[in-house]
Structure 1
């Protein structure tokens, strides 16, 4: 448990330039507090007593502004910057080293008790107020732009933005186009 906390704090300090000290992050980052409440309390309790696990997750939501369903699978060194308004659904899966900003929703779109929430692979970044809906996969190292609405899979290493989200990194690099224009001049 202590190693997990140390690794999470170190990850937040790497990702957030405002995170100056270990103690500051330990005490003042509600996104990490929500992850810890999920990993150490809500998820283990939920596996034995579902109602009790839900109660623990709701207390954590009240205290942190982050709602992580106790059935969700959350990887290591997952960081939630600012935290407020983040919602992670029951069948969501979040890989290791994922970074999310405030207002992110990993939501479902199927009323049946099936896999209905996103899977976010390792090292992905999800911008503020992004909404990811359904049983979709966000590939490793993918970036989701702020306020994007994502309803389809996103390949590894891709960047998507907009509503609906579209890939913004695959149609050629602007620097290549600029260099071609300069060569023609």
Structure 2
């Protein structure tokens, strides 16, 4: 992907870097001064280092590119392959632990939080990493795996594992990730609005069990209290037998 300006002319490296330094001012309310960019924003430096390395890689100086990103990995704590395609105004917030694979394509205005993996699921050559479309947000700890596409304006919840395409204007959460919302929205990802799948599952199971018990009591098909007492008796006998068996084994060893 060739980075261009509004006139569709190639964007120079220095203009890209200047733009990269300006991104935190729009995305991070914690930024108080430009000096902080030099010491507290490893995500910005990782992107800038990648800009240099990517140019070397495309000119077939692959070893040089890998060395640059190896040094960047040591200082920035992010593993970004120099061949990955990263668009304009991409911001990696906090950034520690981010992994971006070789054939990953990240389009413009994407926001990535710490611990994100854009990884592959195949050992074959070719496109094996995800494509992240314009204006998407990838929540902290999320894993987006394989040659899939996260659509434009979409949001991935924290710690989600995405293994299928996500339509544009969607929010996806869970393991594996499921689309829970489809609407056009320019708002940032709000994790307070994401559903708790485990809680919803247990609520469903509890209500289902209550419904079955109520149905059985109403139809008088079985005496639930008697059955429950029988189960308790069986359980206690089982525990007693286990203890007795262990004591017998120990006594045999002693003799």
| TM-score normalised by L of structure 1 | 0.87
Q: What is the aligned length?
A: 171
Q: Which runs of 4+ in 1 moved over 4 A?
A: none
Q: Is the 8 A contact 1:37 1:60 kept in 2?
A: yes
3-state SS of paired residue (2:35): helix
Unaligned stretches of 5+ residues in structure 1 = 175-185
Give the match for residue 156 of structure 1: 168
Give the match for residue 211 of structure 2: none
Please give the alpha-carbon distance, in whole angstroms, between the structure 2 residues aligned to 1:125 and 1:13: 17
Alignment deviations for residues 141-178 of structure 1 (CA, whole Å, 9 cap, x no partner): 1000000000001111100011110112149xx9xxxx
Alignment deviations for residues 7-35 of structure 1 (CA, whole Å, 9 cap, x no partner): 22322121111012223224421001000
Give the match for residue 19 of structure 1: 31
Give the match for residue 56 of structure 2: 45
Q: Is the 8 A contact 2:20 2:48 kept in 1?
A: no
Q: Is the 8 A contact 1:9 1:26 kept in 2?
A: no
User: 1 or 2 for the larger relative contact order (CA 8 Å, sep ≥6)?
Assistant: 1
Q: Is the 8 A contact 1:89 1:117 kept in 2?
A: yes
Give the match for residue 9 of structure 1: 21
Within the candidate set 161, 181, 204, 1:169 is matched to 181
Q: Per-residue deviation at 1:59?
A: 0.9
Q: Is the 8 A contact 2:92 2:114 kept in 1?
A: yes
Please give the alpha-carbon distance, in whole angstroms, between the structure 1 residues aligned to 2:181 and 2:27: 22
Q: Is the 8 A contact 1:10 1:22 kept in 2?
A: no
Q: Is the 8 A contact 1:102 1:129 kept in 2?
A: yes
Alignment deviations for residues 28-71 of structure 1 (CA, whole Å, 9 cap, x no partner): 2100100000012x111222221221121111111101111011
| TM-score normalised by L of structure 2 | 0.64
Give the match for residue 182 of structure 1: none
Please give the alpha-carbon distance, in whole angstroms, between the structure 2 residues aligned to 1:26 and 1:3: 18
Q: Counting helix residues as a fraction of each chain, which structure ranks higher?
A: 2
Alpha-carbon RMSD: 1.6
Q: Counting strand residues as a fraction of each chain, which structure ranks higher?
A: 1
Give the match for residue 8 of structure 2: none
Q: Is the 8 A contact 1:140 1:157 kept in 2?
A: yes
The structure whose Rg is larger is: 2
Unaligned stretches of 5+ residues in structure 2 = 1-12, 184-192, 194-255
Within the candidate set 101, 111, 121, 1:99 is matched to 111
